[in-house]
Amino acid sequence: MSLKGKTAIITGGSRGIGKACAIYLAKQGADIVFNYSNNSSMAEETADEIKNLGVKVQAVKADVKSSQDIDYLFNQALENFNSIDILVNNAGITRDTLLIRMKEEDWDTVLDINLKGVYLTCKAAAKHMMKKRQGRIINISSVVGITGNPGQANYAASKAGIIGFSKSIAKELAPRGILVNVVAPGFIDTDMTSVLGEKVKDNILSQIPLGRYGSPEDVAKLVTFLASDDNQYITGQVINIDGGMLM
């Protein structure tokens, strides 16, 4: 499953699932470009870790909800690597609260980063990939986008939106050889889940047949397969990686 000679852009690639995806893609030989929003020291550490795998890497400070920043991110990738073969949309945030307490800012910020960011990056990637008549786009959604979850109306809406958006562009881009898929993680052991209380964690674990949280590496291995040439006939699909929660 070699990705040597290919370039991957990963949004939110300095930590968590995004970092794991960047590392697994790099282990297969892909050169890596990832964006980060604020923490430059963490981005540098991640870049050094990837560089030690023997590939080229570039960390770019960019806001995924800004069209200007996305243009800058993709221009940097093309100037330094000459190609964009893989896009992994991982950047996302939560602003959890019940609907009646949810501020308009909480709604707008989550939808802008989680959904508008996917629109902007996919549009930028498609322009380049269509010329080459090949490419892989993997958008990270969530099982919450399928089931909903109390206190996460904004997050669930953004993740459900990713699913509908991805299915639509998969149909648009398939004739040009571009495969678009969605990975919907369940509860993954990241910074986002580490803040949950013990009672909440116990309740979640009781719903997972495998009896454990997933790891970022579990998600990264699936993403790497979907991004590779081993995947020739899967597009427009939503693949849950949730320990059996939704089966």
Q: Among all residues, which ones are annotated catalytic?
A: 155
**Secondary structure of residue 159 in the 3-state scheme:** helix
Angle at 222 between CA 212 and CA 162, to 5 degrees: 95
What stretch of H or E contains 179? Answer: strand 178-185
Compute the distance between CA of residue 71 and CA of residue 96 in angstroms, rounded to an integer: 30
Sequence-distant (≥ 6) Cβ neighbours of residue 37 within 8 angstroms: 12, 61, 62, 63, 91
Residue type, 1: M
Q: Which of 157-177 are b and which e, b meaning 16 or more Cβ less than 10 Å from the residue's Cβ?
A: bbbbbbbebbbebbeebeeee
Q: What are phi and psi of 242, to 5 degrees?
A: -140, 15
Compute the distance between CA of residue 163 and CA of residue 183 in angstroms, rounded to an integer: 9
Residue 217 tokens read as 């590496």
